[in-house]
Structure 1
């Protein structure tokens, strides 16, 4: 008598009481169960940006494809950062000894970014997860709590021992005084764009990165110290270049977004107006009228705009006072050679500021 064929065994399930879903990855570990379990909670948590789109079946397949064994990650330090400037600085210190992934893509704003499922996987498998803090990328802490992988989690503000500013709160500002105050991403908080001051980077950020990365990867500590010293010397030379570029008599500028407090303070530049106190929030008619009056009174000729933010309001405003717009970039773009490295990014911005401020001095709308 022929025996009935055996039914195939179902795929093994995790021995995790919080996760009853099937993992398709061969040789999976407890890490996978933990990520799946936390992903379940993320799916039902509307307060975590981007996680609402994580469908269970798609996320399981994504984990199966993207989560390799630990040996695939062992050759280099795996680092995930929220924004491109952090990657530029880390790569200067680590060289080829780290693989760095940036969550916020070129042209996107870190203020409104929502992580994708693939971002959760990268964070779960990283050795280091570094965000800025200071209200710039608050979503990153919720993202890390959702995944809670093996990564060392740190902020740039925490690394250099600065208090992190609260999230932007429009009600905490007196918005009738755009021309008097720079946007500080919070009530009394510090501008989080710390990297736009190369001396602050050389004196505080690079030494902090060297110490932190050496703790995470002690076998490469001497390498990190050597490259950190070399980069600090490069930054001293870069500072001299920028001072020469910005040595003209014109010192005033109008910014669409208040990201330039550290850059302006380092090179004695004065922000006389800012269009948006908080990214994504349209200025009131009264604020726009005040800005136009200030621009006309000071004979300004340009508004500095950024590729991460919609320039239409700036275009309209500059037309009101007979000016134009000039592109600056606080984050950089690895696809553009003019902004692909940290020194080149700051040179790009210094040239843009010089051009815009010259237009201010001339009071016309043509280069």
Structure 2
């Protein structure tokens, strides 16, 4: 009898002491998980400040972190190049980008089938920067991620659900507040990071400096960008801290255009929450477009 009770007590303690380990590929998803998780859950980030998911290579400690995680949260859609080198059958992975595309875009599978020539089966050849649009985040990603976290750690179901409801309300408030502002004018962005965001809020992106991350435009392409900026009366170019701004500076100096830094991955020094992250982006766009 005593032996039975001891085994029962040990079993109960084992159940009640479980803590989940969640790992995010990029900082915005880290911030979302930070809002959703319990105090007991562990949270890790793979790509450090100042690095781009398009170019970042894993170090041994990253690999160890990933394989020890109960859930790896990534964007997918070929945003993180390191995913090609992981054995996905050994990791529970949540692909946030695919959640958005399946929910938001009609005929997604027909229009954007996975590229058969790529090693990454989750590369659909589409703009991956879904996390920058707060509507995508609260409407599609947060609910699905919450469900996934519950499957990983059912014991914390009620807390995950409550945290999710609170986060969605906060993100909706940020979205609704930004929509009150009337924005006008056109901009250049460094690459296509802000396309979904711009479409959501009626901001005109007249062009992008780099059509492929890390590849500066050729002299011919640079001349075409200068003409396009002139034709569209572009007054500001947004650059990103992870990439060289040399080409953007050439365009800006040629046409006397302002340059502003905007970080699609968020700065830990100024964004301690996902609400800070979106408010910072909104403030930069608002301040820049008010000048036009």
Aligned to 1:231: 167
Whether 1:296 and 2:234 are equivalent positions in the alignment is no
SS of residue matched to 2:170: helix
Unaligned runs of 5+ in 1: 1-70, 170-185, 362-367
Change (3 A) 1:161 1:287: closer
Aligned to 1:220: 156
Whether 1:118 and 2:50 are equivalent positions in the alignment is no
Aligned to 1:316: 250
Q: Determine the C-alpha separation between the residues in 1 that align with 2:146 and 2:85.
A: 26
Aligned to 1:243: 179
Q: 5 Å matches for 1:6-155?
A: 75-145=18-88, 149=90, 151-155=91-95
How far the C-alpha of 1:292 sits from its partner, in A, is 0.8
Whether 1:343 and 2:279 are equivalent positions in the alignment is no
Q: Determine the C-alpha separation between the residues in 2 that align with 1:166 and 1:256.
A: 26
Task: Normalising by structure 1, report the TM-score.
Answer: 0.66
Q: Flag the structure with more relative contact order, 1 or 2, with Cα contacts below 8 A and sequence separation at least 6.
A: 2
Aligned to 2:219: 285
Q: Determine the C-alpha separation between the residues in 1 that align with 2:217 and 2:195.
A: 19
Q: Determine the C-alpha separation between the residues in 2 that align with 1:255 and 1:230.
A: 32
Unaligned runs of 5+ in 2: 1-13, 103-108, 118-122
Match of 1:258 among 178, 192, 212: 192
SS of residue matched to 1:339: coil
Aligned to 2:241: 307
On the 8 A contact 2:100/2:130 being kept in 1, the answer is: no
SS of residue matched to 1:85: helix
How far the C-alpha of 1:98 sits from its partner, in A, is 2.5
Q: Determine the C-alpha separation between the residues in 2 that align with 1:273 and 1:328.
A: 16
Task: Normalising by structure 2, report the TM-score.
Answer: 0.82
Q: Determine the C-alpha separation between the residues in 2 that align with 1:255 and 1:127.
A: 36
SS of residue matched to 2:52: coil
How far the C-alpha of 1:165 sits from its partner, in A, is 7.4
Aligned to 2:261: 327
How far the C-alpha of 1:196 sits from its partner, in A, is 1.4
- Name whichever structure is richer in helix by fraction: 2
SS of residue matched to 2:37: helix
Q: Determine the C-alpha separation between the residues in 1 that align with 2:200 and 2:98.
A: 22
Match of 1:267 among 172, 179, 201: 201
Q: How many residues align?
A: 263
